[in-house]
Amino acid sequence: MEFFLKHQKVILRSFGAFLLIVGFVINFWVTPQKAVSTNAVALANVKRMEASVQGGTSKKVSKEPAVAHISKALKATRAKQMKYMTIIAMVLGAVFLAYSFFKKDEEE
């Protein structure tokens, strides 16, 4: 405990800077972008070419399984949770960093 009290400013500044950096890195690098990937574009092109080759023949389109919407909802929820966690990490990092710069009154 004495070590923490002796080096409190350095520990708080280090922890705050670490949380800020981790929050920014995860938020802007790891979270997926909202752009269309090349795989999705290629898949759409293949589907379009297959449809043009088949011509006017009508084919029954199989319905999407009922589990697909649950999977999409889980992915969206996971993305929101990751965003909230990174925001919380950035805010806590800023608070720890700012708190370490306040001067403490010595009451000894």
Look over the chain and give the mean of its residue pLDDT values, rounded to a whole number. Answer: 80
Name the pLDDT band for 1 (thresholds 50, 70, 90). Answer: confident
Decide: 27 and 90 in contact? Cβ < 8 Å.
yes
pLDDT at 72 over 70: yes
The domain segmentation of the chain, as residue ranges, is 2-56+64-99
pLDDT at 30 over 80: no
Name the pLDDT band for 108 (thresholds 50, 70, 90). Answer: very low
Which residues make Cβ contacts (< 8 Å) with residue 97, sequence separation at least 6?
Answer: 12, 13, 16, 17, 20
